[in-house]
Amino acid sequence: KATVSVLNWSAFSPSMAGAPVFLEVLRARNVKKSDLTSESDPYVSVTLHETGSATSAVVPGSVEAKWPVVDNDKHPCWFSTSWISPCGTPGNGLLVKLWDEDPGGRFNKDDFLGEICVPLQSLPDGVVKEVSICPPKDPKHVQTIELRVRRSFPAPQKRVVLIRHGESEWNDAQSNKKFKVMLERVDHPLTNTGVSQALGLAEQIAAAAKDGVDDKYVQDLLQAPVVYSSPLCRAVQTAMLACAPLAANPKLSWELKKNAREKRNRGGRDSSGSHYGAKIVKYLHTELDELAERWQEEGKGPPLPDALHELVDRLDYKETETQWWQDDAEDKDDAAFRARQLFFHQIMWDPRDVVVLVGHSHFFRDFFATYFSPRFAAKVAGGGTRYSAEDWASKKLNNCGVAHVSLDFTPVHDAWRSGRAPADAEYKCIEHVELLFDTRLIK
């Protein structure tokens, strides 16, 4: 963590004095409890001001950016970047406010938990800085927030390889009406069929690498420098098994992303987690051991490699240090909002050109249904793809299905350059979807 005092602006790149301002809020610590029966439900708002004083005017053309509410959490995390202003100067200040959402509270107003105005010149491009905020009614209580300013646009294009998890115990129980299996636990692991599916995909990936397959979409998968995974057990197990051939790259990054979890349907115990923080790693090791034991008992194939445990140890779990799942049901709009957070506030800002994302059928389906670009939507409507628009909106990838997705963020960047927040239509960024390895859409 950087503890940076106010710097001479001449130490920065000369172009930064008129560069845009983007801000990543990573996490907060020790948020004051303002509710009687639970921790606060914190969120952050930020505006850019003319000077380092909170009472100065807001910079014209800038916006108030908000980071979403994290329910009942003393140590919330976001790891999310938002646009603040098309142009910032050394004398500007970022006014950072911390809030507790309290719609049912007194006067139906959120509780204000403090603020700090941070001089822009004290935040070098790309460097994390921790700032302290004290509640106005309790100045001895120190809350901290980690910030990182970015002064340049991210790359306008990104490729994401989506992989749906293998068959889980929940999937099998739903198909065969095994209600006890559905209800006796949360966060269901893979079945042996799911293991077979994931190992089958791993074989296809390994064969493509060995044969030097001349397919740009497959090559993106083979050369991907990072694997994102939903924190749910079935997704992580699929990532470990199916993407094992990619692990030959010692620099490959494995990261858990809470926004990639499955849409929480009513009664969907498979989409509730049970562990977080360092305990999630111990939990995944235990589940992997039990998975390997079930696999051997049924004689499905050779033992699962011990190296899978090494992959679990390589997981970056910083986004799951506190509760990362939602206890109540989500609707389509909730899932679409999380998809926007994941793709536009996280993946877009990842410096790597290609990201592998292991996740879930409903989450992917809602992403397809919401974010086709006008050009790709017209292609689909005109019969230029194997599946219709209705198929993409109502069907899902088969277990361990793979979809290469080309994203173009140019309309979003153009809106920022013109000094305004993007309209909903400008977030429609999916320019092409290519299904790999005989993947299909199913009901």
The predicted-structure confidence for 383-428, as pLDDT tens digits, reads as follows 999 999 999 999 999 999 999 999 999 999 999 999 899 999 999 9
Cα separation of 119 and 317, whole Å?
31
Task: Give, in degrees to the nearest 5, the angle at Cα 216 between 210 and 220.
Answer: 75
Q: What is the pLDDT of residue 23?
A: 98
Q: What is the pLDDT of residue 104?
A: 65
Q: How confident is the model at residue 357 (pLDDT cuts 50, 70, 90)?
A: very high
What's CA 275's distance to the chain center, in Å? 18
Q: What is the pLDDT of residue 10?
A: 36
Taking a C-beta distance cutoff of 8 angstroms, is the pair 120, 5 a contact? no
Side chain identity at 139, as an amino acid letter?
P
Report the sign of the C-alpha dihedral through residues 239, 242, 246, 250, in that order.
positive
Q: What is the pLDDT of residue 107?
A: 59
Q: What is the pLDDT of residue 383?
A: 94
Q: Torsions phi, psi of 354, nearest 5?
A: -125, 135
Cα separation of 197 and 437, whole Å?
12
pLDDT digits (tens, 9 = 90+) for 326-338: 888 988 788 888 9
Contacts of 322 (CB under 8 A, 6+ apart): 70, 73, 74, 75, 76, 77, 276, 277
pLDDT digits (tens, 9 = 90+) for 90-148: 899 999 999 999 876 555 689 999 999 999 999 999 999 999 999 999 999 999 999 99
What whole-number percentage of the chain has pLDDT above 90?
79
pLDDT digits (tens, 9 = 90+) for 63-100: 999 999 999 999 999 999 999 999 999 899 999 999 99
| Tokens encoding 384 | 């230029």
pLDDT digits (tens, 9 = 90+) for 191-205: 999 999 999 999 999
CA distances from 247 to 143, 219, 225, 367 (A): 39, 15, 10, 28
Cβ-in-10-Å burial (0-12, 13-18, 19+) of 14 comes to exposed
Alpha-carbon radius of gyration of the chain = 23
For the cut 90, the answer to whether the pLDDT of residue 169 exceeds it is yes
Q: State the DSSP string of 358-393.
A: EE-HHHHHHHHHHHB-HHHHHHHHTT-SSS-HHHHH
Residue range 344-351: average pLDDT? 97
Q: How confident is the model at residue 5 (pLDDT cuts 50, 70, 90)?
A: very low
Q: How confident is the model at residue 268 (pLDDT cuts 50, 70, 90)?
A: confident
Task: Give, in degrees to the nearest 5, the angle at Cα 155 between 151 and 161.
Answer: 135
Residue 343 burial (CB count, 10 A): 24
For the cut 50, the answer to whether the pLDDT of residue 3 exceeds it is no
What whole-number percentage of the chain has pLDDT above 70?
95
- 169 three-class SS: helix
Q: Any idea what DSSP says for residue 412?
A: H
pLDDT digits (tens, 9 = 90+) for 43-65: 999 999 999 898 999 999 899 99
Q: How confident is the model at residue 9 (pLDDT cuts 50, 70, 90)?
A: very low
pLDDT digits (tens, 9 = 90+) for 388-398: 999 999 999 99
Which pTM was predicted?
0.92
Taking a C-beta distance cutoff of 8 angstroms, is the pair 17, 90 a contact? yes
Give the number of C-alpha atoms closer than 13 A to the C-alpha of residue 271, restricted to the C-beta side.
22
More confident residue, 334 or 260: 260
Among residues 192, 152, 169, the alpha carbon closest in space to that of 19 is found at 152
Cα separation of 176 and 2, whole Å?
54
Q: How confident is the model at residue 12 (pLDDT cuts 50, 70, 90)?
A: very low
- Stretch among 1-5, 170-174, 307-311, 373-377 having the lowest mean pLDDT: 1-5
What residues are paired with 66 via a beta bridge? Answer: 45
What residues are paired with 145 via a beta bridge? Answer: 28, 131
Report the sign of the C-alpha dihedral through residues 421, 427, 431, 437, in that order.
positive
Q: What is the pLDDT of residue 42?
A: 96
Cα separation of 323 and 235, whole Å?
17
Taking a C-beta distance cutoff of 8 angstroms, is the pair 363, 263 a contact? yes
Give the number of C-alpha atoms closer than 13 A to the C-alpha of residue 378, restricted to the C-beta side.
3
Side chain identity at 352, as an amino acid letter?
R
